[in-house]
Structure 1
Amino acid sequence: MRKPRDNGYGIGEICLHWLMAGLVLGLVVLGFAMRRRGIDPALQFSLYQWHKSFGLIALALAGLRVFLWLAAGRVAPAPGLGVVERRASTATHLLLGFLCLVVPLAGWAVASTTTLNIPTFLFNLVVIPPLPMARSAGAEAFWSWVHATTAYTLLALAALHSAAALFHHFVRRDGVLMRMLGRRTIDPVDTPANEGSKR
Structure 2
Amino acid sequence: MTPPSQSYKAGARLLHWSMAILVIAMVPVGFLMIQKGLDRSLQNNLFIFHKNVGVLLLILIVIRIIYRWRNAPPPEPTHLATWQLKVAGATHWLLYTLLFVMPVAGYVRVRAGGFPIEALDAMGVPALVPKSKELAAFAKSVHFYGGWAIAILMAMHIAAALRHGLIKRDGVFSRMWPTKP
1:156 aligns with 2:155: no
1:131 aligns with 2:128: yes
Query: Offset of 1:60 from its aligned partner?
Result: 0.7
Cα RMSD between the aligned structures?
2.0
User: What's 2:115 paired with?
Assistant: 118
User: What's 2:84 paired with?
Assistant: 85
Q: Read off the aligned partner of 1:120 and give its amino acid letter.
A: I
Cα distance in 1 between the residues matched to 2:160 and 2:102? 23
User: What's 2:18 paired with?
Assistant: 19
Query: Offset of 1:50 from its aligned partner?
Result: 1.6
Cα distance in 2 between the residues matched to 1:67 and 1:182? 21
Once the two structures are aligned, what percentage of the paired residues are identical?
A: 33
Cα distance in 1 between the residues matched to 2:126 and 2:50? 16
Runs of 4+ in 1 over 4 A off after TM superposition: none
Instruction: Report the 3-state secondary structure (helix = DSSP H, G, I; strand = E; otherwise coil) of the residue aligned with 2:36.
Output: coil
User: What's 1:194 paired with?
Assistant: none
Worse-superposed segment, 121-130 or 57-66: 121-130
**Cα distance per residue 1:61-114 (max 9 Å; x no partner):** 111110011111233322311222222222221111111001111100101211
User: What's 1:171 paired with?
Assistant: 167
Instruction: Report the 3-state secondary structure (helix = DSSP H, G, I; strand = E; otherwise coil) of the residue aligned with 1:122.
Output: helix
**Cα distance per residue 1:151-189 (max 9 Å; x no partner):** 210110011011111112233221111111146xxxxxx
Instruction: Report the 3-state secondary structure (helix = DSSP H, G, I; strand = E; otherwise coil) of the residue aligned with 2:161.
Output: helix
Q: Read off the aligned partner of 1:160 and give its amino acid letter.
A: M
Instruction: Report the 3-state secondary structure (helix = DSSP H, G, I; strand = E; otherwise coil) of the residue aligned with 1:98.
Output: helix
1:60 aligns with 2:59: yes
Q: Read off the aligned partner of 2:170 and give its amino acid letter.
A: D
Cα distance in 1 between the residues matched to 2:163 and 2:104? 32
Cα distance in 2 between the residues matched to 1:39 and 1:99? 27
User: What's 1:188 paired with?
Assistant: none
Q: TM-score, normalised by structure 1?
A: 0.79
Does the C-alpha gap of structure 1 residues 148 and 91 become closer, same or farther in structure 2, counting only changes over 3 Å?
same
Does the C-alpha gap of structure 1 residues 127 and 49 become closer, same or farther in structure 2, counting only changes over 3 Å?
farther
Does the C-alpha gap of structure 1 residues 143 and 123 become closer, same or farther in structure 2, counting only changes over 3 Å?
closer
Is the 1:111–1:130 contact (alpha carbons within 8 Å) kept by the matching residues of 2? no
Q: TM-score, normalised by structure 2?
A: 0.86
* Higher Cα radius of gyration: 1
Does the C-alpha gap of structure 1 residues 130 and 120 become closer, same or farther in structure 2, counting only changes over 3 Å?
same
1:50 aligns with 2:46: no
